[in-house]
Amino acid sequence: MFGFFPQKYDGLIVRSATKVTADVINAGKNLKIIGRAGTGVDNIDCEAATSRGIIVMNTPGGNTLSAAEHTCTLICALSRHVARGDQAMKAEKWSERKVLMGSELYGKTLAIVGLGRIGKEVALRMQSFGMTTIGFDPLVPPEVSQEFGVESMPLEKIWPLADYITVHTPLIPQTRNLINDKVFSICKKGVKVVNVARGGIIDEEALLRALESGQCGGAGLDVFIQEPPKDFTLAKHPKVIATPHLGASTTEAQERVAVEIAEQFVDVAQGKQLFGAINAPALTNALSPDARPWVELGERLGVLAATINSASSDNLQVTTYGSSLKKAGSYISAAILSGLLRNSSQKAGGDAPPLNLVSAPALAKANGINVKTSHEESAPSPYTSLVTLTLSNGCRLSGTTSGGNSLLVEVQGQQFSAPASLTGSVLIFSGTGNSKLLPTVAGALGSAGVAVTSLSTSAESNGQTWGVATFASSVTPQCVDSLKSVVSSAVVVAL
């Protein structure tokens, strides 16, 4: 089915025309990263990518100037009937000159809905024509838009003032059909509209009605609900100047976005930085070599937590201690979640989506697990940095790292006298009688012929002690059997 998309590829880079559906994502068994050489990611099923642990990134900004210039081009072309004038000349109809009377932009009001990167650049350019620029953006405060000469006001105030309206928002539920019959009805008669953002922000049917009635004096459209449109009625309308999604189609923009997406991929591959990712907040600070041991520790604590207390849990509290972990909460909690969910994911079999720092938070959310993180600047003595996880099922573990190794510091509030190594196959057990437990377990494992590399026990609480053993080679079920008579619980965990 996807002959064009061999499974071996790790990365995929697209423009807007390629639809990266869930089927495409699932077919890319090796896929790790999807790059959008452009701004809008509405052609990529980001949810499907996230649940498969695939990073999605774009190059916001690389095509801003081209899209802004194209918008200004359409505004100018609308004001002077450039397209119809050209059509007349090609048809050798000089007489059209009489009906193609335009109007100046000077002194007119341009309303800009969406004052982000492109909206701002459009404002700056059209101000040089002497246009008054007003606008609205829920995330851009009035004092900020004032700095680039746009007076911010609520939409209902904007509509009756505008001679031209241009939209520069993403297509989201709040912006779908933002300009509709009702809006046209309260606009000035003959208002002109421009859409170089996304088809559907201006209701296409309402636009057609407004063009027919004369309520709308003209439209410049670069984008359509369906691309390419099946129905070209709007594009063919005499008052419409239509272009086939050309906003970013300049050599400069294409070179910029191509270079940017390639550099962003290389940075991720080399573990340098994560720029432009839109679905991987946990990865933001996780790429540095310093973060790696903490990611490993988080995963191992998660696996351990799921093993020693398999009861389901709907709340995870993660606390990081120590100034070096100030920004680590999001990736350590994602790592803990990926460890916690590993067993259930393995049980789901071969088709289970891969668990990593991208997919684990989304999967946890889908499973109803709420995560809270907190940070304290100083760690409990003698540690400089520490992580504690507490689950609503009563499980509590603390760990730290040393020389790149994961160490278990505490189980259920009981501290280990010497932190226990969490590497390879680990035997975790609990029993009674602190002083005797360690030699008894060591003796039983020795009699079973198991080569133990480390053995630690925790402080005693309510007569119970926890212990962790690591081994030179893999551990057999017989080794656990050999402990049955001396401990209350014992389980081997592969970390």
Ligand X SMILES: O=C(O)C(=O)COP(=O)(O)O
Ligand Y SMILES: NC(=O)C1=CN([C@@H]2O[C@H](COP(=O)(O)OP(=O)(O)OC[C@H]3O[C@@H](n4cnc5c(N)ncnc54)[C@H](O)[C@@H]3O)[C@@H](O)[C@H]2O)C=CC1
Task: Report the partner that residue 116 touches, choosing among ligand Y, ligand X, none (CB closer than 5 to 8 A by kind).
Answer: ligand Y
Q: Dig out the tokens for 341 from the structure.
A: 């969910």
- Residue 117, interface with ligand Y (CB under 6 A)? yes
Residue type, position 299, single letter: E
Task: Report the partner that residue 91 touches, choosing among ligand Y, ligand X, none (CB closer than 5 to 8 A by kind).
Answer: none
**Rule CB under 6 A: which of 205-264 touch ligand X?**
245, 247-249
In the complex, least distance from residue 27 CB atom to ligand X, rounded to whole angstroms: 22
Nearest residue (CB) to ligand X, 222 versus 296: 222
State which of residues 39, 169, 175, 313 lies at the interface with ligand X (CB under 6 A): 39
In this structure, the number of other CB atoms found within 10 A of the CB of residue 117 comes to 17
Backbone angles phi, psi at 82, to 5 degrees: -60, -45
- Residue 243, interface with ligand Y (CB under 6 A)? no
- Residue 63, interface with ligand X (CB under 6 A)? yes
What is the Rg, in whole angstroms, of the alpha carbon atoms belonging to the chain? 31
Nearest residue (CB) to ligand X, 64 versus 457: 64
State which of residues 5, 13, 15, 423 lies at the interface with ligand X (CB under 6 A): 15
**Rule CB under 6 A: which of 427-486 touch ligand Y?**
none
Parallel, antiparallel or unpaired: strands 240-242 and 164-167: unpaired
Task: Report the partner that residue 17 touches, choosing among ligand Y, ligand X, none (CB closer than 5 to 8 A by kind).
Answer: ligand X
**Rule CB under 6 A: which of 36-55 touch ligand Y?**
39-40
Helix (H) / strand (E) containing 374: strand 370-376
Backbone angles phi, psi at 217, to 5 degrees: -90, -10
Task: Report the partner that residue 173 touches, choosing among ligand Y, ligand X, none (CB closer than 5 to 8 A by kind).
Answer: none
- Residue 80, interface with ligand X (CB under 6 A)? no
Helix, coil or strand: residue 217: strand
- Residue 108, interface with ligand Y (CB under 6 A)? no
Q: Which of 435, 425, 447 is nearest to 491 (CA)?
A: 425
Choices 63-71, 84-92, 123-131, 361-369 (CB under 6 A): range interacting with ligand Y = 63-71
- Helices 292-308 and 329-340 meet at what angle, rounded to 10? 40
What is residue 388's DSSP assignment? E
Choices 38-46, 313-321, 346-354, 414-422 (CB under 6 A): range interacting with ligand X = 38-46
207, 423, 431 from 467: Cα distances, Å: 72, 14, 8
Q: What is the dihedral of CA 209, 213, 215, 218, to 10 degrees?
A: 70
31, 32, 33, 268 from 353: Cα distances, Å: 12, 12, 15, 21
Site string for ligand Y, 125-164 (x = CB under 6 A): -----------xxxxx------------------------
Told to judge if 396 belongs to the known catalytic residues of this protein, a careful annotator would answer no
State which of residues 131, 165, 194, 248 lies at the interface with ligand Y (CB under 6 A): 248
The catalytic position among 125, 245, 256, 300 is 245
Residue type, position 63, single letter: N
State which of residues 116, 199, 353, 467 lies at the interface with ligand Y (CB under 6 A): 116
State which of residues 40, 119, 135, 431 lies at the interface with ligand X (CB under 6 A): 40
In this structure, the number of other CB atoms found within 10 A of the CB of residue 84 comes to 17
Q: What is the dihedral of CA 115, 117, 118, 124, to 10 degrees?
A: 80
The catalytic position among 81, 198, 256, 300 is 198
Nearest residue (CB) to ligand X, 245 versus 256: 245
State which of residues 113, 225, 364, 468 lies at the interface with ligand Y (CB under 6 A): 113
End-to-end CA gap in the chain: 38
Residue identified by tokens 């389980």 is 491
In the complex, least distance from residue 249 CB atom to ligand X, rounded to whole angstroms: 6
Q: What is the dihedral of CA 70, 73, 78, 79, to 10 degrees?
A: 150
Residue 341 near residue 37, CB atoms below 8 Å: no
Site string for ligand Y, 381-420 (x = CB under 6 A): ----------------------------------------
Residue type, position 138, single letter: P
Q: Which parts of this chain interact with ligand Y (CB under 6 A)? A: 39-40, 60, 63-64, 67, 113-119, 136-140, 168-170, 174-175, 196-198, 222-223, 245, 247-248
Q: Which parts of this chain interact with ligand X (CB under 6 A)? A: 15-17, 38-40, 63, 245, 247-249
Active site amino acids: 198, 227, 245
